[in-house]
Structure 1
Amino acid sequence: MPITKRRGRLRVKLPDGSLIQERTSADTFTKAIDIAVSKTNINEVLNTNIIWCKFPLISMDKNIYTKEKYIKTLKKCECGLYVNTCSNNKDKRKLLLRILDILKLNWNVTII
């Protein structure tokens, strides 16, 4: 049986020392966006207007995603937003850092 290399997971550290580290990177990514909404507001997060794979990275409406590939990878935040998680860990980290920069949230995002 071949040995496979583990792809790693995201870890987000907030300034107060609390960690966001879920079982999968997609879950961590989604939870971090959900917490960012609670620290700012839903409109600020939506207004980041980041496009990923020709679709909004974050949306209120899951019906705008027309490709099956992206529909399968949508995650719903507790706040009601839908997040496109169809990306590798490196891209998820970059996207999250971009969102946090726009929102002026000084969080540390690493791949472990």
Structure 2
Amino acid sequence: MDIGPTKTLRKEGLPVNEDLERKANEIEEEIIKKEILPILTKNIEPALQPVQRELVLVVDYIPGQPISVHLSRKRNFTADMPDAKEIVVDPEVAHGQRDSKSIDGEDKIHRGPARDMAVFFPDGTIIAEKTAVDTLMATVKKIGVAQVRQVVEEYNLKFCKVPVISNRRDTKYGKSQKDLGNGWLLITHSNNLMKKALIEKVSQVLNLGIKVTLNE
């Protein structure tokens, strides 16, 4: 799929730089996540119910030509495709009764006095926005959404059962999920101690040397 400027540049025989190519890829992936995956889940998944064996369906899309679908019984065939990327939507979260002992569940978040949060990077960068939510968002973007998401997945980091960075708008806490761009959402339903702990965990895993302070 060629979109926008990359299509025009290629038609004119002009080079496409890496940054433009990356942005085009991100836009296409967002279209797949938001537009195509919901259709597949709603229509294709029920139609596959009679099929009892595992398989992989590959859609071959060339603009202006009919779509073709290839079937493979080899689940790990993408190992031979270095640029293959799996695009999935996080599962919907089932919210139940609150459990005061649960860390990631429907536990009540005890909020203390209003605080300011500041994040210090080894390169001298200081992030201290007006609110802790804005500071958290700016910090995630500074580190890199993809890198933070990787840590979230690996260590199953959640606020109120919802992955801290998710590509699904939660039915209950959707209003507290802030848009990070490219289909990613950051849940901010947490107190500042939780936000601080999250940043410190990401820093520890990625060896970033970040320091976080909370000011009364």
Q: TM-score, normalised by structure 2?
A: 0.43
State the identity %: 31
1:74 aligns with 2:177: yes
Query: Measured at CA, do residues 80 and 33 of structure 1 come closer, stay the same or move farther in structure 2, by a change above 3 Å?
Result: farther
SS at match of 1:10: strand
Distance 2:183 2:120 in 1: 23
Q: Which has the larger radius of gyration?
A: 2
CA distance in 1 between partners of 2:171 and 2:143 (Å): 26
List runs of 5+ in structure 1 lacking aligned partners: none
What is the Cα deviation at residue 80 of structure 1? Answer: 5.2
**Distance in 2 between the 1:18 and 1:52 partners?**
27
Mapping for residues 47-86 of structure 1, pairs under 5 Å:
47-48=150-151, 49=153, 50-59=157-166, 61-63=167-169, 65-67=170-172, 70-78=173-181, 81-86=184-189
Larger RCO: 1 or 2 (CA < 8 Å, sep 6+) = 1
Whether 1:107 and 2:210 are equivalent positions in the alignment is yes
Aligned CA RMSD, in angstroms, stands at 1.9
Q: Which runs of 5+ in 2 are unaligned?
A: 1-111
Aligned to 2:119: 12
Q: Which residue of 2 aligns with 1:89?
A: 192
Whole-Å Cα distance in 2 between the matches of residues 78 and 23 of structure 1? 21
TM-score (norm 1): 0.79
Conservation of the 8 A alpha-carbon contact between 1:12 and 1:19: yes
Q: What is the alpha-carbon distance in structure 2 between the residues aligned to residue 71 and residue 85 of structure 1?
A: 10
